[in-house]
Amino acid sequence: MTRARPSFLEFFAGGGMARIGLGEGWTCAFANDFDPVKAATYRANFGESGEHFHQGDVFALTADILPTADLAWASSPCQDFSLAGARAGLAGGKSSAFFGFWTLMRGLSAEGRAPSVIVIENVVGLLTSHHGDDFTALCGALSEEGYRFGALEIDAAAFVPQSRPRVFVVATRLPTAGLEGGSAFHSRAIREAAARLPEDLQARWIWWGVPKPPARNTDLAAMLEPDAAVIWSSPEKTEALLDLMAPAHREAVEARMKAGGRSVGAVFRRMRGGQQRAEVRFDGLAGCLRTPRGGSSRQTLLVIDEGQVRSRLLTPREGARLMGLPDGYQLPASQTAGLQVVGDGVAAPAVRWLAETLLEPLVDSKTASLAAE
């Protein structure tokens, strides 16, 4: 007998990267996003698919319009949890969109149609926002609706050459036999967050036993467009960038110039002690992709080839590759919009690994349980 494809609801869907990560083995029953550029990108890549995509404010949705599904995925706006932001937490104007999502989940629960599995993905700052109170509130909300839960800190660098740590809170009402245990994704931050929970919530905690993936075999250089196909900065602009580097970073550049060959580095501009600095990394990883707001968020590439140094901005297509998206993925025509879509997304390969090792076995346990009745 052919196994029915599990279905999911995708909230704060952006460009649909969670959908891509879940893959063809899943059916998207409903998707939502407020942003018109992201909504247009979603439709361009997945089509209308009937009436399943709804553009608009999550607070304007009601549970009665939602289909019943196995999984609900929420990658709610992360600015208020970001370590680089103001740390407004769950009271912040953007991350409070989570409550719009949670109102829907409570509505489905009241109707006896709650998803068996919920995944909430966000920045690592979620664990410590307001000294951990926000994470405790989240776990409390899940517990009140009958869910057990656990969290994993997964860095996209395990799958693609981009440093992008994210927290995945996975909650379920299903049996978890065979899915609990140790994991490389139980980071120190996860362990400390779990330890801060009150006893009643600790009793509902699950240590998900998600295994470590095989070693990544690509680096940043493999993601790049051909040199002749991109726009390079002027020599003067490149020199100005080098002048912003602290001595250790400038020395790293000069050492590679002297060594010859080709090296590719990722550069961010940051404020250090009230002074703007350019920091470069040559470890084969891009820094965490961000949306193109403000000078510090624009990631620059530094390419050293046979003693010559050139610089340029990362392209949206390269950003998409760093998120694990195929080259056939349709990006907005505007460079800024393209970077906005990919910078706000979740790395698709991280979702795929979570689906293969945890989400699909969970849903299968529901199918097996029903078959046994």
Look over the chain and give the mean of its residue pLDDT values, rounded to a whole number: 91
Buried b (16+ CB within 10 A) or exposed e, 131-146: ebebbbebbebbbebe
Q: CB–CB of 97/76 below 8 Å?
A: yes
Q: What is the pLDDT of residues 203-224, one digit of tens each?
A: 999 999 999 999 999 999 999 9
Q: What is the pLDDT of residues 107-153, one digit of tens each?
A: 999 999 999 999 999 999 999 988 999 899 999 999 999 999 999 99
DSSP letter, residue 183: -
Structure tokens at 135: 């994470």
Q: Dig out the tokens for 39 from the structure.
A: 């909504």
- Given a cut of 50, is residue 373 above it in pLDDT? no
pLDDT score for 161:
98
More confident residue, 291 or 86: 291
Mean of pLDDT values over 261-286 = 92
- Among the residue ranges 69-78, 206-215, 362-371, the one predicted with the least confidence is 362-371
Q: Tell me phi and psi for residue 171, to 5 degrees.
A: -120, 145
Per-residue pLDDT at 98: 86
Name the one residue in this structure whose structure tokens are 């006896």. 112
Alpha-carbon distance of 217 to 64, in angstroms, equals: 46
The CA distance from 346 to 18, in Å, is 6
The DSSP result for 185-216, as a single string, is T--HHHHHHHHHS-HHHHTTB--B-PPPPPPP
Q: Tokens 């690509």 appear where?
A: 218
Q: Which residue intervals of the chain bear CATH 3.40.50.150? A: 7-214+342-372
Using the predicted structure, report yes or no on whether residue 28 has a pLDDT greater than 60: yes
DSSP label at 34?
A: S
Question: In 3D, which of 135, 265, 249, 252 has the Cα closest to residue 192?
Answer: 135
CB–CB of 42/53 below 8 Å? yes
Whether residue 51 is predicted with pLDDT greater than 70 in this model: the reply is no
pLDDT greater than 90 at residue 313: yes
Cα of first residue to Cα of last residue in the chain, in angstroms, is 17
Alpha-carbon gap, residue 264 to 283, rounded angstroms: 9
> Rounded to whole angstroms, how far apart are CA atoms 86 and 159?
30
Pick the CATH number of 7-214+342-372 from 3.90.1150.10, 3.30.1300.10, 1.10.10.10, 3.40.50.150: 3.40.50.150
